[in-house]
Amino acid sequence: MQPEYVSLFERAYEACEQSYAPYSHFRVGAALLCDDGSVITGVNVENRSFGLTICAERNAIAAAISAGKRRFKALAVATPDATYPVSPCGACRQVISEFMPSSGAVVFGNAKDSYVVSTVGELMPHDALHDLSSCLVREEQEHSS
């Protein structure tokens, strides 16, 4: 794994300590690498109504957007309570594909030595609208610069 992804995964793993998972006891941390080199983290925040739970991946992306970030290179997701690397859920994949290029790296794992390195395109193959949404994000970025 590339050194920048190792440190990104470590940040995701550390973020798990802030997870709020009193129901499932399944902590998730995410670390989002922005194009400017900054890293924004997020954690899962459970709710007793599970449908209202916020995933770590979406939490990190929302925090980055709130901070004015719009371009992302890579995302790491850590699930230390799992027995195997757990990939982002379908809702998170959809949100990730909205804000990252299909070539963007997605690293997920349950331990610092047990992980998978993938891309947005591999997690969302056949995403017909990805090119369109990427163009819209780029267009918005160009107009805001």
Instruction: Map residue 12 onto helix, strand or coil.
Output: helix
pLDDT of residue 134: 52
Q: pLDDT by residue (tens digit) across 19-70?
A: 999 999 999 999 999 999 999 999 999 999 989 999 999 999 999 999 999 9
d(CA 59, CA 65): 10
pTM of the predicted protein model: 0.86
Find the Cα–Cα–Cα–Cα dihedral 120, 121, 124, 128, rounded to 10°. Answer: 130
Residue 138: pLDDT band (50, 70, 90) is low
Q: Which residues of 128-137 are buried (b: 16+ CB within 10 A; e: fewer)?
A: eebeeebeeb
Is residue 107 pLDDT above 60, yes or no? yes
Looking at the chain, list the stretches that DSSP marks H as alpha helix, in order from N- to C-terminal side: 3-15, 56-66, 90-99, 120-123, 130-144
Number of domains in the chain: 1
Residue 143: pLDDT band (50, 70, 90) is low
**Is the CB of residue 27 less than 8 Å from the CB of residue 79?**
yes
Tokens at 48, concatenated = 């007793």
Q: What mean pLDDT, rounded, does the chain reach?
A: 90
Q: pLDDT by residue (tens digit) across 111-129?
A: 877 899 999 999 998 876 6
d(CA 11, CA 16): 9
What is the separation of C-alpha 145 from the centre of its chain, rounded to a whole number of angstroms?
25
Give catalytic status of residue 10 as yes or no. no
pLDDT of residue 90: 94
CATH number at residue 106: 3.40.140.10
Domain that holds residue 115: 3-144
Pairing of strands 39-43, 105-111: unpaired
Give the active site residue among 57, 98, 139, 142: 57
Is residue 86 pLDDT above 90, yes or no? yes
Residue 6: pLDDT band (50, 70, 90) is very high
Q: What is the mean pLDDT of residues 91-100?
A: 95
